[in-house]
Amino acid sequence: MRRPLVAGNWKMHGTCASIKQLLNELSAETLPNTIDIAVFPGLIHLQTAFAQVSDSVIAVGSQDCAVQLEEGAMTGETSALQLKDIGCSLVLVGHSERRQLQEESDRVICRKFIAAQAAGLTPVLCVGESLAEREAGQALATVQQQIDAVLVELGVEVLSQAVIAYEPIWAIGTGLTATPEQAQDIHAQIRAHIATYSASVAQELRIVYGGSVKAANAAELFAQADIDGGLVGGASLNAKEFGAICRAAGN
Ligand code: PGA
């Protein structure tokens, strides 16, 4: 039985005051204890977040890490070991916004995945196709290639200490959610693909959905057999909305 994960990706949002308030409001929400809950604030707000969640069930992760594990001469970067040191337990790798805006390649993402695991962080490997790729019938092929960049390089066992987030790019921040059937279809195919390498790893792997998840559509998405929770952007900036999404995953 896979334990659902609901994670809030706060992207480049917030101030110290607003992050504090958001976490206070979130702590006041009734959150289910049958799921894992995490938030991914911007780097400069990690300390503020840790101070707020110290006695709560909410884990804190980073939106990115450096390709290099150890500290070193990499201006502007933060290593996975530094993130672990500050208290992070998770890190997003390969979010589509970084693939696009920072031109991160599958090779770079694989190195970040390695660094994350070497530091003892759980990487959340984000994959997803563009609208053009979907319309060309290439959605699954795109996602498989992104997963294989890690899986073929490192072996399937690394996925037993990781999470996959399927986030179709056309659904991110657009209000256009994949239908539960569209999302389930890709999730099931991802799991089947991984099962060709290891049935047990595939069975245990959490595959969460991201792309305009909100309270109004969460229950239907999370009811799908292969959707094990969500990676939530915009809606996670509202505590009531995010709380409701967490409860939908807990039911
Ligand atoms: P969204 O973002 O929920 O605002 O679509 C999801 C994400 O980018 O992780």
Interval 6-33: pLDDT, tens: 999 999 999 999 999 999 999 999 999 9
Give the pLDDT confidence of 229-240 residue by residue, as tens digits. Answer: 999 999 999 999
Q: Are 56 and 25 in contact (CB under 8 A)?
A: no
Cα 84 from chain centre: 17
Q: Nearest residue CA, atom 1 of ligand 1?
A: 233
Q: Using CA positions, which residue lies closest to atom 3 of ligand 1?
A: 233
DSSP 201-222: HHHH-EEEEESS--HHHHHHHH
The model's confidence at residue 1, banded by pLDDT at 50, 70 and 90, is: confident
pLDDT at residue 176 tops 90: no
Q: Strand ranges (DSSP E) for 13-153?
A: 36-40, 58-62, 90-93, 122-127
Q: What CATH homologous superfamily does 5-250 map to? A: Aldolase class I (3.20.20.70)
Burial of residue 196 (CB within 10 Å: 0-12, 13-18, 19+) is exposed
Residues 6+ positions from 55 with CB-CB distance below 8 Å: none
- CA dist 208 → 21, 25, 44, 105, 119 (Å): 27, 24, 26, 22, 23
Structure tokens at 67: 């390709």
Mean pLDDT of the chain: 97
Residue 60 Cα to ligand 1 midpoint, Å, equals 17
pLDDT-derived band at 56, boundaries 50, 70, 90? confident
pLDDT at 54 over 90: no
Where do the structural domains in the chain lie, given as residue ranges?
5-250
Q: Which residues are catalytic?
A: 95, 167
Q: Please write down the long-range contacts of 128-132, taking CB distance under 8 Å and 24 or more positions apart.
A: 128/96, 128/166, 128/167, 128/168, 128/169, 128/172, 128/210, 128/211, 129/168, 129/169, 129/170, 130/169, 130/170, 131/169, 131/170
Closest atom of ligand 1 to 232 CA is 3
Pocket test for ligand 1, best of 124, 172, 174, 177 (most atoms within 8 A of CB): 172
